[in-house]
Amino acid sequence: DIVMTQTPPSSPVTLGRPASISCRSSQSLVHSDGNTYLSWLQQRPGQPPRLLIYQISKRFSGVPDRFSGSGAGTDFTLEISRVEAEDVGIYYCMQATQFPLTFGGGTKVEIK
């Protein structure tokens, strides 16, 4: 199974400042079709998860452009350029390159 490791587990940030979350996979997420199925989800308190980024860096419909994804192979990053109050929640990375599909443990973003 592919293990997804997120750091940090918690990220206190100041409003308007950037935040960065790292996700590392135990093996390459490059699929045989050439795509890399690494995505990022946001879960606000009391809400279901919401898709933010798919295939490393592609923003899903309606996602603000302050969210961006980058990386390749086994190392990936989600960045929020300027954190807003509505960004508070837990962020998960997920791989869909290989079954079983696996999630990172989550990173809690909170306001200082």
Partner 1 sequence: EVQLVESGGGLVQPGGSLRLSCAASGFTLRDNWISWVRQAPGKGLEWVASLQYDVSGKYYVDSVKGRFTISSDSAKNSVSLQMNSLRAEDTAVYYCARSLFGAFDFRGQGTMVTVSS
CA distance to 4, 43, 64, 100, 102, per residue, from 8 (Å):
13, 16, 23, 24, 18
3-class state of residue 87 by DSSP: helix
C-beta of 112: minimal distance to partner 1 in Å? 23
Q: Which of 7, 35, 57, 77: binder of partner 1 (CB under 8 A)?
A: 35
- The yes or no reply on residue 81 touching partner 1 (CB under 8 A) is no
Which listed residue (51, 59, 63, 66) binds partner 1 by CB under 8 A?
A: 51
Binding footprint of partner 1 on the chain (CB under 8 A)? 31, 35, 37, 39, 41, 43, 48-51, 53-55, 58, 60, 90, 92, 94, 96-97, 99-106
